[in-house]
Chain A
């Protein structure tokens, strides 16, 4: 094979890996949107908050250390050596469930039957609040998140692909980050588990029922409040997974919350109500932006990854506003 073909394959592979990461974030949006019609602007911040909390537990940080020290003149920073990663992940999950419960109790409950735009505004408020809370609790410095997943380029893959190149050409093999491969694998498992859960369990059916028809769900005995806590907990869980992956890749920093913006074109492509849509949308955006940068980027000065996804989304809005897999929007007059 000629190096150009091999390079293209490499770009596509890396695009797929990036796409999986976008899908992970988009998935959290879809879950909440399907069940309650709320576009949860805070999903990105949820991922950030989960990652911050996880690092905090792992390294044994004292929450609110700055506040405590400033108020009482003390000098606490760590309460010990930290804890085992698995335990820290479980504890972080517990925090996310608690957060879901608080969101229902303090925000959603008071906004029942309000316009979607009002709920959307509430989630913007929630996003800012959580960002501030994360800062107060764990500090604003960039943190390293290490959950024990391998990372760095795969030499094995480099060696294998080097042999594919045609005789006499200069080719040094493909670069693939092992962490990206792990992230893709975990995302696949997550989606399969979520699908099985929603298909074959009572709570899964209740979730789908609420997503389908609130009134009918009430008449068969489903408590909407309970379901919302469950949905937000699951979204928190997805955010935790996304936070771990992004955090491990690029460090836990506050710009992490901005990946939520990248999820928006993914959702427009895939449709706001479709889980497969979120996956496929993420992959298309990931591959699309990498390929575009590779093929067209050099001609127009590069840095196309910053805007390509949004322009693609704009085209989709013109021709297929419900996305690839979304429910067709039919408004009766």
Chain B
């Protein structure tokens, strides 16, 4: 019987205690971040969307090889001496035209493994985290700055250069051969002189 009244009292009292707690929380400031209006601050080394600074990229393909999910694909083209891609910001000479630098961010696992091998520190993880798209193809980011015309132009140039080089080489080889012949001929010519002396 005594337990009965204790139960009653405890039932009511604990409800009141609970109500007091919720009442206090009614006036506590909310912890909600109003997301689209207020952006959450990212931690220092947050890994989100990849960004490639093409000015610095030398097309070394190391990031593509480091990627565990093969989301980076790079194609390069050798440059000609008269039309070089210039230098990186750290003064390193670029030897390759980067014709294709695609990152399929949908595949990316945000491991940051591509960032470490980069010799010019041109690929990096940014703090941008809002990049949803309606089309899956839109998630393939194309970083290459060259237009298709430029690429064909460069290819042509390289081919011409290559051809020229070939021709030069051929010419050189021919010249060499001719020179050797000449030398031989000269030698042959010289000898009789010596003999004549």
A and B associate in one complex: no
Q: Interface on B for A, CB 8 Å cutoff? A: none
Q: Interface on A for B, CB 8 Å cutoff? A: none
